Amino acid sequence: MSGQKSVDVYPSMVIADSQDNVKAIEKITIGAQLKAIRTNNKLTLEEASKRTGLARSTLSKIENEQISPTFTVMQKLATGLDIELPQLFTKPEKKQATGRRDITLSGSGKSHVTSTYEHELLATQFSNKKMMPYKSRVYARSFEDFGEWVRHEGEEFLLVLEGEIQLLTEFYEATTLKKGDNVYYDATMGHLVISVSEEDAVILWVTAS
DNA sequence: GCCCGTTGTGCTATGGGTCA
DNA sequence: TGACCCATAGCACAACGGGC
């Protein structure tokens, strides 16, 4: 319950608006997303509290960015509010149409920087999509940069766009992949990616739940 | 006055870091 | 390795303000 630690799979996010460099950065906060989802569903904090099992004050603090929810809390939020977890990181759509599309111009994805990766989330306007595509610059150079395996629900496809990476997985030998190489794997298996080229590698990732 | 949201305080539980 | 300390998350509770 309390004091839980979690692997930062989808960390707090920023928006980049340049092609190669992150310039003006706009923060996308989980709190704001949570509040939008809750109010769209016409739920009070009290009602949301009952549905998620989290205290009303806790929800208020999350919405006002006073505390950062752990992965477990985000799972409770997703379950209680009947949403997919990635929706906490994407702006909610009021209604969905069929035949929809989402164009992300070069460098205009939602960026989110960690100590190991700089993610640029693509096609973020869809709140209920089955895949989550994102481009990542790989800062990590060793397993120690992560401390533990990254694992989560679903499957992932990875394509190397620039540089050279090493894919480390729980059950296989480390594999070196260069530009154009790709891999599809079960994301519940412990995995992580490190750069092995002189420059930080850039990869395309597609996560499907 | 009631409902709702926000804020502040104090407490507990837990994990990480440090040190002997 | 175990003890200790500290930071953090989460909870309950109370108080306050705004809107109806």
Res A11 pLDDT > 60: no
Q: Which of A138, A127, A122 is nearest to A178 (CA)?
A: A138
Determine whether the distance from the CB of A48 to the nearest atom of strand C is below 7 Å.
no
Res A32 pLDDT > 60: yes
Ranking A4-13, A27-36, A85-94, A196-205 by mean pLDDT, the lowest is A4-13
pLDDT of residue A14: 37
pLDDT of residue A202: 94
Res A4 pLDDT > 80: no
CATH number for the region A13-89 comes to 1.10.260.40
Mean pLDDT of the region A95-103: 59
Parse chain A into domains and list their residue ranges. Answer: 13-89, 130-208
pLDDT of residue A94: 43
pLDDT of residue A130: 72
Determine whether the distance from the CB of A5 to the nearest atom of strand C is below 7 Å.
no
What is the DSSP-derived secondary structure letter of residue A93? P
What are the pLDDT digits (tens) for A127-146? 666 788 889 999 888 888 87
What torsion do the CA atoms of A107, A95, A56, A209 make, to the nearest 10 degrees?
A: -60
Res A121 pLDDT > 90: no
Footprint of strand B on the protein (CB under 7 A): A 1-5, 35, 44-46, 56-57, 60-61, 63-64, 66
Question: Which segments of A61-129 are extended strands (E)?
Answer: 110-113, 117-121
Instruction: Let me know if the fold of A13-89 is the same as that of A130-208.
Output: no
This prediction has a pTM of 0.47
Could you tell me the pLDDT band of residue A8, with boundaries at 50, 70 and 90?
A: very low
CATH number for the region A130-208 comes to 2.60.120.10
pLDDT, chain A, mean: 72
Give, in Å, how far the C1' of C2 lies from the CA of A142. Answer: 31
Give, in Å, how far the C1' of C19 lies from the CA of A49. Answer: 22
Give, in Å, how far the C1' of C13 lies from the CA of A55. Answer: 12
Ranking A86-90, A110-114, A129-133, A168-172 by mean pLDDT, the lowest is A86-90
What is the DSSP-derived secondary structure letter of residue A79? H
pLDDT of residue A104: 81
